[in-house]
Homo-oligomer: A and B are copies of this chain.
Amino acid sequence: MARKTKSDTEQTRQQLIAAARKVFALRGVSRTTLAQIANEAGVTRGAIYWHFKNKPDLFFAMLEQVSLPMIHRINENLPAVDLRDPLRGIQASMHEILRLMKEDEIARTTFEIVVLKCEYVDEFASLESRVIKTGCDFMQTLKRAYEEAREQNLLRDGIDPAQCAMESFVFIKGLIHLWLSDVDGTIVRGKAHSLIDAHIAMRYKQVLY
């Protein structure tokens, strides 16, 4: 077979990842065969075994493509938006997550696979701890923002920043799951943004709107 140039090679790799994402989302990770992925990418299994060790390896390569830039984009919204009001930063960060899932098809599909089309066992069990760890980092950032809000006397009395941060994390976790499950968009998707606003509004000392 015709050997490709270096950029062609990388393109094949990217096509394989894209094909894997598509088939994973359609058939689920376990039920997806490497032949299906190869077929979707217009190559044979030989190409997969050249670029990746096996299915889990391809799976994690697919994750890498989105996880790192995503974490960065979400965190950068947190502190910077409005230094005088950290709650707005949290709010913006949450809206950004939703925006990503709506507009970025790659991110959305990847989320979908991680949440609904993957079983957390054996080689994939490590994914669980990775997700948890990322969540903890996010929670820490949230906590700092809430502490800052309290110092600025914005936070409602009797609210503990750490607990509040965890509750926000639980909230966004649940929201993501429900948003993804609500495929026809009749239950959650239409109201998700205003839900975030309500979630944040409840934390203010006085309700502003």
Binding site for B on A (CB under 8 A): 26-31, 116-122, 128, 131-132, 135-136, 156-160, 163-164, 166-167, 169-175, 177-178, 181-182, 187-188, 191, 194-195, 198-199, 201-203, 207, 209
Contacts and interface: CB of A to CB of B under 8 A. Distances in A.
A209 B158 CA distance: 8
Copies in the complex: 2
Contact of A30 (B30, B169, B207): B30
Contacts of A178: 135, 169-170, 173
Given A158-B207, A174-B177, A202-B203, 18 more contacts: A26-B121, A28-B119, A28-B121, A30-B31, A31-B121, A31-B122, A117-B121, A128-B181, A131-B181, A157-B207, A163-B195, A163-B198, A167-B199, A169-B178, A170-B175, A170-B178, A170-B195, A177-B177
A118 B135 CA distance: 22
User: Interface of chain A, helix or strand or loop or mixed?
Assistant: helix
A132 B181 contact: yes
Given A159-B202, A170-B195, A116 B119 contact: yes
* 8 A-B pairs with the lowest CB-CB distances in the bound complex, closest first: A174-B174, A28-B119, A30-B30, A158-B207, A173-B174, A28-B121, A170-B174, A116-B120
